[in-house]
């Protein structure tokens, strides 16, 4: 009998597919039976950001999975809003529930038993923090294989090379409106030399103005899929493009899409997006550069940690750090530099994270496994 057979595990699942994929990947690597508890949020907080604290006030309890005892021994989750629920559950269980958070905590760092920081986050060194270069993501090979034949005829008829353009949208600190969309198409034209064909796909974060600009300026050799949550999966070309496209352009705001392509070992060009803001933004970016340097962790401990504890700010996120890792390891290029084929596929850190969770369970076995 497995020593963890009696362990109760909940996966707190929100509404972001990329985030959820990391939770599922870690759960699969652990190989433990787990219950999915799906969270739906009140309309105000679907896009809004509630103050980070242990609470369920932002959850639509009628549409969500039950949040009631018996409380689990272990929770795995990701993201601001699900993490708040996890902290609330830990309070209800009087500290018996262990929390594993993927990403960064907005505060309450010590309340999480294990924080798995991924590429774009700058976190302090702590006993409960592990830092990984890449998110816990991998392309769903089964779903890709199933999607490919559904789109085979439609994609095979397009001139080669087929360049898939995976588009995210505005997210702090990036701007992506109509002007940026037109600029993206021009940068792609320069990189491809109008050879082959383009297939653009937008996402839930792509604004209407940007979509309209892409539609209006779409070149003759381009096709555009406009994301809509009501479109059935077999009408969305995203997975089929992962299988069939020859090379990829991904906007720099979307960590999940960059990682999925990098793990396929196909040519990936990162389209850098402009950063919004003036002097304050430049000062912030300079500070992030310092945090990535020799004294970075000392600065985080001295400057950010007290502010995070006070609820003034959260630990910083630096997409450039993530981009530089992909480029340095040969998994990607900047769009301005064209395309190159990676020597190898990016390795997955999922197993490393799973071992850290198992080590946590070993340390706390006596107090978590319920008889």
pLDDT for 145-186, tens place per residue? 999 999 999 999 999 999 999 999 988 778 999 999 999 999
Kindly tell me the burial class for residue 131, based on how many C-beta atoms sit within 10 Å of its own C-beta (0-12, 13-18, 19 or more): middle
Same domain, 245 and 290: no
In this prediction, residue 1 has a pLDDT band, given cuts at 50, 70 and 90, of very low
pLDDT at 278: 60
Q: Is residue 75 part of a domain?
A: yes
Check if the beta carbon of residue 136 is closer than 8 Å to that of residue 353.
yes
Domain with 48 in it: what CATH number?
Answer: 3.40.50
Q: Is residue 173 part of a domain?
A: yes
Same domain, 260 and 306: no
pLDDT, tens digit, 9 for 90 and up, residues 273-312: 988 766 665 566 666 665 555 545 555 666 666 666 665 5
Q: Is residue 4 part of a domain?
A: no
Q: Is residue 3 part of a domain?
A: no
Phi and psi, residue 82, nearest 5°: -65, -35
Q: Is residue 342 part of a domain?
A: no
Same domain, 33 and 115: yes
Q: Can you give the length of the chain in residues? A: 371
pLDDT, tens digit, 9 for 90 and up, residues 254-266: 888 998 899 888 9
Residue 368 pLDDT exceeds 50: no
Same domain, 131 and 184: no
Please indicate, yes or no, whether the overall pTM of this predicted structure exceeds 0.95. Answer: no
Which is more confidently placed, 252 or 230? 252
Same domain, 104 and 179: no
pLDDT at 341: 85
pLDDT at 299: 59
Q: 178 is in which domain, residue-wise? A: 141-275+324-337
Same domain, 203 and 330: yes
Nearest to 247 by CA among 175, 314, 199, 189: 199
pLDDT at 184: 97
Q: What's the total number of domains in the chain?
A: 3
Nearest to 75 by CA among 122, 141, 9, 28: 9
**312: Cβ–Cβ under 8 A, 6 or more apart, which residues?**
none
Check if the beta carbon of residue 134 is closer than 8 Å to that of residue 119.
yes
């Amino acid at each position: 009998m497995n020593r963890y057979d009696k362990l109760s595990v909940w996966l707190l699942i929100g509404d972001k597919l990329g985030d959820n994929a990391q939770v599922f990947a870690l759960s699969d690597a652990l190989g433990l039976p787990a219950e999915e508890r799906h969270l739906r949020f009140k309309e105000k907080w679907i896009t809004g950001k509630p103050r980070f604290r242990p609470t369920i006030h932002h959850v639509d309890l009628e549409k969500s999975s039950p949040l009631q005892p018996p409380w689990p021994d272990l929770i795995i989750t990701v993201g601001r809003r699900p993490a708040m629920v996890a902290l609330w559950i830990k309070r209800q269980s009087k500290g018996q529930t262990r929390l594993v958070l993927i990403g960064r905590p907005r505060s309450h760092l010590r309340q999480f038993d294990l924080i798995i920081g991924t590429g774009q986050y700058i976190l302090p060194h702590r006993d409960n923090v592990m830092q990984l270069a890449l998110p816990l993501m991998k392309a769903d090979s089964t779903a890709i294989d199933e999607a490919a034949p559904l789109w085979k005829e439609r994609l095979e008829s397009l001139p080669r090379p087929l360049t898939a353009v995976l588009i995210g949208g505005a997210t702090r600190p990036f701007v992506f409106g109509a002007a940026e969309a037109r600029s993206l198409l021009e940068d792609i034209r320069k990189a491809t030399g109008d050879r082959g064909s383009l297939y653009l796909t937008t996402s839930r974060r792509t604004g209407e103005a940007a979509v309209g600009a892409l539609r209006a300026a779409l070149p003759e050799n381009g096709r555009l899929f406009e994301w809509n949550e009501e479109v059935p999966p077999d009408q969305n070309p995203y997975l089929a493009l992962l299988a069939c496209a020859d090379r990829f352009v991904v906007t720099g705001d979307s960590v999940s899409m960059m990682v999925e392509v990098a793990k396929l070992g196909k040519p990936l060009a990162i389209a850098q997006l402009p950063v919004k803001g003036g002097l304050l933004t430049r000062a912030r970016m300079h500070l992030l550069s310092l945090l990535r340097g020799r004294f970075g962790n000392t600065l985080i401990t001295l400057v950010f940690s007290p502010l995070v504890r006070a609820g003034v700010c959260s630990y910083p996120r630096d997409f450039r750090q993530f981009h530089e890792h992909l480029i340095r390891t040969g998994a990607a290029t900047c769009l301005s530099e064209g395309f190159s084929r990676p020597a190898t596929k990016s390795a997955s850190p999922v197993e490393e994270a799973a071992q850290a969770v198992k080590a946590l369970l070993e340390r706390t076995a006596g107090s978590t496994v319920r008889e």
